[in-house]
Structure 1
Amino acid sequence: MLLKPSSVSLKLKLPVLMVALTVAFVVTVSFLIYTMAERSIRENVTSAKASKAQAGAQALGFSIGAAQRDVANLAALPTTFRAINNFERVIGMVEADDKIGYLKKHFITDNPNAEDQRADLVDPGDGSYYSQSHVTYHPTFVQTATLNRYSDIYLITPAGLVAYTVQKNGDFAEDIKGDLLADSALARVAQAALEAEPGSVVVEDFSAYSPADSVGAFLASPILNKRGQPVGAIAVRIGTDFVQSALSANLEADGHENIYLIGPDGTAKSPGMIPGAFEMLSKLPDTPHIAAARQGEAGQFSQTQTASGEPAAAVVIPLALNGFNWSVVMETDDAEAFAMIYRIRWMVLSLIGASVVVSIGVSWAAANRVTRPIHHLRDATNALAQEDYNIAISGLDRGDEFGDLARSLDTFRDKLKLADEAAAREEEAKRETDYVVEEMSHALSQLQDGNLICEIDGPFSPDYETLRENYNHSLQNLRNSLREVVEAARHVDRFSQEQRASANEMAERTESQGSTLEKTATAMQDLTQRLRDTAEKATEVDSTMRGTRREAEQSNEVVRSAVAAMDQIQQASSEISKIINMIDDIAFQTNLLALNAGVEAARAGEAGAGFAVVASEVRNLARRASEAAGEIKTLTSTSEEHVANGVSMVDKAGNALTSIIEQVTSVSDLISEIAGGVQHQSQGLEDINAAIRELDSVTQQNTAMAEEASASSQLLQSEARTLSRVTGRFQIDTPMSADAPSSWDSDAIDAATTARSA
């Protein structure tokens, strides 16, 4: 059973209270300091991690942007144009039945270098035209891939053949529509690049690429000739080290920080800095920060878990990159990131423990100095409670609060002695007071029973005689007032009966009038609603006719434009006829020149035999040109006739539309007038309807007031009878005989009232 605080001694309670206050103060201050320090440290750590993640995101964005610009620049270089042309041409010049097999044999199968070093082979020494072109362009592309950290560079012909690669993996000399590359990211990005606009860059996100046995992303751009026509595509493959080196440039590989990319499908688009944390392209757990990264939402998460289930803090930054929908996720181990907070926590707990030990010792010593004089004062107080006025009170010479309390207790002891003497004197006065109280109680008891003739005849002591006289006078005044109340109750009862009858008759007439008016208001409201609907329909018809008028006017403008266009076509046909006539003249002159050339060739003999053949062909060409000019002239004449007929028909359509517009305008004006009139009628009926509703409301209020007046009259009559019954309980006059009633009851009052009314 727990002890109540009031039952514990002050000697124990005071040190416990002091220790509790000290501990509460120390704990509060320590908690506030720890909270502020923890908040500051967490904000600093979170800000630092966010800055690192932001720096990584910016570095990656710069690297991807630079790669896209570099691919576009490579596609626009004349060197790249010449390379794709030469490689496409020399592949066809390979002197072997299986040209693709020949290239794979010399650059892959017989390559003396290791698989990851095949790019070191510049000239396989077979003497083919392809190898000569390879010697020319391969060092340039190798240098480009090395400087930009590209995994590979591809040149794809318009037919889809991978004519060149830097690394010479299994995709070299393959068709992007073949079995090996048909469903690969390289085939998709190459096909998109061949169909893309000049200067644009298409991308493919990280995915498994089996020909290179790796994971990679692709960027590609169309290669154009001088006339801007696509002659192939250039593509680059970037590996995971490309993005990871940009992300982790500002981080330390200490196993406490991990930064990687996440796609909208929740898969990892780059490997983490912590080996074995998760697999590339694997589905990551649906933790809060992973869910935010999947949805492209930025945020900071203080209590989350890594893919391996370790507690961590995370920062999510969505990236706005052309073609890549990624979010940067940076995770930091909680124990390492907030180690300073844990050290401060142990320091605070140690400080609280030391403070508790010190406060217990100090509080116990201070409590003893305070409770000792309190015990002496307690003994003196107990003695005074037992009427022992000879007890010695210690501490009268102290100058502190205990001395004041001791001197007050000594004065209190003297006053207790005087109080005992005064108590004896008041005992006598109490007996006189008891007599007065007894007489007054008896008289008031009779007054409670309704007896208003219960005066007190026996005299009181001089101190209480005035009380008796005042009581008798008050009783006389009460009897007189109650007589007046009884008479007034009789009059109220009679008047309320008359008011009740009048109020009932008025309520019936008002209710009948309200019912008739309510039916009238309902009929007017229905009529108003129907007229309002008619006005709305008329307004809709007016709006429709206005739209029809606008459309007809617009059609008229279209017809006029068509007529103008027909005129321009007719003028162009005339110009074409002039040009055809000129072509006909040129053909005629050419024929004459060809005849002259034939004559001269005949004169030259065998030396002009070849020239004679040319002159004959020129004559044939001039003849065909003249015939074609004649046919075109015939077609042009026919076209001019059709155009003239079209102009005539369009002109007739324009006249018909003009007539339709005039008639639609007339109909629209009439409908507008009808709509305006209906709206005015609707507004008038609404005013009448509002007035009837207001009159109906007033009538209903009058009906309610009449019913309330009738009910009030009934209640007034009931209250008058109740008042008569209440006053009947009092005995106002002295009974004349033994048979007379000693009090007024309600039946007697009702009988007297009925008799007077009759």
Structure 2
Amino acid sequence: MTLKETTPVLLKPSSVSLKLKLPVLMVALTVAFVVTVSLLIYTMAERSIHEKVASAKVSKAHAGAQALRFSIDAAQRDVSNLAALPTTFRAINNFERVIGMIEVDDKIGFLKTHYIVENPNTEEERAALVDPGDGSYYSQSHVTYHPTFVQTAELSGYSDIYLITPAGLVAYSVHKKGDFAENINDSVLADTALSRVAQAALAAEPGSVVVEDFSAYGPSGAVDAFLASPILNKRGDPVGVIAVRIGTDFVQSALNANLADDGYENIFLVDPDGRTKSPGMIADAFSLLSVLPNAPHIAAARAGEAGNFTATVTALGTPATAVVVPLDLNGFDWSVVMETDSAQAFAVIHRIRWMVLSLIGASIVVSIGVSWAAANRVTRPIHQLRDATNALAQEDYDIAISGLSRGDEFGDLARSLDTFRDKLKSADEAAEREEEAKRETDFVVDEMSRALAQLQDGNLVSEIEHPFSKDYETLRENYNHSLQNLRNSLREVVEASQHVDRFSQEQRAAANEMAERTESQGSTLEKTATAMQDLSQRLRETAEKATEVDSTMRGTRREAEQSNEVVRSAVAAMDQIQQASSEIAKFINMIDDIAFQTNLLALNAGVEAARAGEAGAGFAVVASEVRNLARRASEAAGEIKTLTSASEEHVANGVSMVDKAGNALTSIIAQVSSVGDLVSEIAGGVQHQSQGLEDINTAMRELDAVTQQNTAMAEEASASSQLLQSEARTLSSVTGRFQIDPPMSTDAPASWDDGSDTPAASHEAAG
């Protein structure tokens, strides 16, 4: 880029058209006058309005601050006076005394039941209940003092009035909220503003007022402040505390007294922490007790500095003006902040500004209109000639040239321009004829180049459809005939390659199938040979086992024969035992007879001894003992006889069982002999079968070898078919490079190599 190109071109008067020069000069003079006068008027009006608006806002802010200061001071004086009234003193004493006189164990529950739970009024109207009708001393005192406190709260705008005993019990409240009959040290009121202000008032100086700033108070569900003062007896000792609860509406009514609810003025209180202590006049501008953004006027309010801010923003981020007025109140550290929407506060200035701008705009429009009308009569012929010249430059020879009949310089110029247009028109027509001939030649060359390029890519259907001029038409027809002859010859080659491919594919499929079947047959023969070999091995093992069983059966038969001899010996021994038992029975009968005879002799000896008197007393004793001995011998002989009889029965049973065992062993020996003969025959048959299976196994191995040779020959035939098909595909691939048929649709490929719809691809998909 050169220096000349980068240097900005200054607008010179000679480069500006005459059509612009005349109106611009007139507009510049008119606009300069109108703008100067309008700006002077607007500046003076804006300064005056700013001063008046600022003064009005400051006056409203100070008036709100003064009203709030008066309300707070009045409330503190009111609380101090209430604490000094004898009525308040009697009320706190009576309520504390009659609570102790309630004749139930749960005195607090009694008060809550009658004044809260069973109160027929809504929560906001519980103060309307004067006497619940329970007949208690507390209710009698309530009837006496309640109307006075209700009237005081309504006249002063208090949210509630409390009487609190030195022990911390809330003995009375006007509205009977959740804090009624609660102790300030218990969980409900502990660490609340009411608890703190009551405890501070009990320790405060006589006549002083203790305050608690606005904070969230749970029993009321709102943001409240508290004022409290001690109630003293004649000796100056505290007998309780009177406390009042004031809501945010108490301070807001004082702040809003001099403001109109027009939606663009907002006044509220801010503490040194930057938190809002009262609601604003504009809804949703901020949340109560929330920390405001650190705008300039909020920073001044936190520092307790007065100020007037003309350019700041509200908590919502809108431009505003603000006035800050610090308050000097006992126990409260607040600053009054008044915000005014800038757009609304200076709406008059905006209206004047638009009026001035409208006046300037109207003056410019009128000046332009007049200047244009005056200059148009001079510049119109010049512009008409300029338009005609531009049209000729753009080869528009049909434009009408005006001013040909004029007798001045504009007429001479118009007639010269008309002659020049005719000459340009003739020259352009000659050039157009030459261009047409060149386009025809270029068209023939382009079509032939395109057709030859497609022929080079193998496209044999790229005939030239568009007719040439009569000088070149013979060339197009010769090219199309040559292309058709080449296409017919190549189609015959393609068909031959397709037949070769199809036949080789069929041969390959048959060879593959034969190879697979032969391979399957070989596998089956191999499995059969393996199975026959396993069967032969198992038969051989079975023959061996049968031989072992035959040998075992022979040994078993010999042992059974030996056992039969043992049984016969046992039967003979049992017979001898039975004969011995019979002999023993005879001896036992003999002993029984001897005992009977001995008993008779002893009886006779006792009779004789009795006859002998004292001389036979000793003999009588001996006879008695002999009798006893004979009796025991007889009893023992009887028992032995019984046992001998049972033994004979058991021996007889044993003889019978041994006879049966001998018979069973004889039968077993006969059966074992039969089984042994059968096992011998089976062993011989198994050995004969094993030899037959060995012959079959040898034949199967020979058949498996022949099958493996057939499989190898089938695989060689399949490989030869595959090579033949590969050669056919190579031939199809070569012929597939040429397109000999037109595509079926616009989406078909221009060449066989572009897709899978070729004969080679079709055969491959079929294979």
- Structure number with greater Rg is 2
**TM-score, normalised on structure 1?**
0.46
**TM-score, normalised on structure 2?**
0.46
